[in-house]
Amino acid sequence: MSVQERKQRERAERERLIVATARELAEQQGWDAVTTRRLAERIEYSQPVLYSHFRGKREIIGAVALEGATEMAAAMRAATRTTDDPRTRVAALARSYLDFAARNPAVYDALFQLDGGLAFAQEETPEPLKDAFAALLESLGEVAGDGVHPGLFTEVFWAALHGVATLTRARRLPPEDTERRVELLVDRLAVL
C-alpha cells in the first residue's frame, strides 16, 4: 500500500514540476516558447510523459491559469485588507490587479487571453476562477451605486481593468499614464 502512496506522491510532485516549469518558461520567453519538447527537456523526461498528466498543451495552460487565479485573488485581498475607506480600497484593488498583470504576463495570458480549456461565468467554472471574481466583487459590490447590480458593476469594472492591462502590454497604450487611468476609472465608475 505504501508503495502505491509513494508513487502517487511522486506523480503529483512531477505534475507540479510540469506546471511550474511551464509557467517559468512562459514568463521567461513567452508562451510560444513553451513547446512540449522544450518543456519535456526541462523536466528531464520525454515528451509523452506530459500526456500522461495532461490531455495536451491546452490543459497545461489551464493548470497555470488556475494557479494564477488563486494567487491573483490572494494579491487583491491583501491589497484591499489594509483599509476600510471604499475609495482607497477600490483604488488599491485596481492597482493590485494591474500590477499582477504586469508582473505575471504569462499567467495573465493563461487566464484571460489563451485557451486553457476552462469554463468561465457558469456553473462548472473551477473554484479558483470563481473565487478570483469573488475577490473583485467583495470590494466593488459596495460601490456599485443604487439600482445597479453588484455583479454587473463588477464585470464592467473588471472589463475596464482588463482593457487597460492588455492594451498596455500589447503596446497599444503608453505605459506611463497607467496611474492616471486608474484614478480616472475609480473616480468615475465607483459611487462613493
For DNA, the binding residues (CB under 7 A) are 3, 7, 11, 34-38, 45-49, 51-52, 56-58
Asked if residue 66 lies in contact with residue 118, where contact means CB atoms within 8 angstroms, the answer is yes
In whole angstroms, how close is the CB of 184 to DNA at the nearest point?
39
Within a 10 A sphere around the Cβ of 136, how many other Cβ atoms?
A: 23
In whole angstroms, how close is the CB of 92 to a second copy at the nearest point?
19
- For DNA, the closer of residues 8 and 82 by Cβ is 8
By the rule CB under 8 A, 51 interacts with a second copy: no
C-alpha cell at 73: 485573488
Residue 48 interaction partner, one of a second copy, DNA, none, beta carbon < 5-8 Å per kind: DNA
By the rule CB under 8 A, 33 interacts with a second copy: no
CA distance 109 to 140: 23
At 175, which amino acid appears? P
By the rule CB under 8 A, 192 interacts with a second copy: no
For a second copy, which stretch binds (CB under 8 A), given 13-21, 52-60, 81-89, 158-166?
Answer: 158-166
Asked if residue 170 lies in contact with residue 156, where contact means CB atoms within 8 angstroms, the answer is no
- For a second copy, the closer of residues 5 and 32 by Cβ is 32
CA distance 165 to 113: 11
Q: Pick the closest to residue 79 from 138, 155, 130, 141 (CA basis).
A: 138
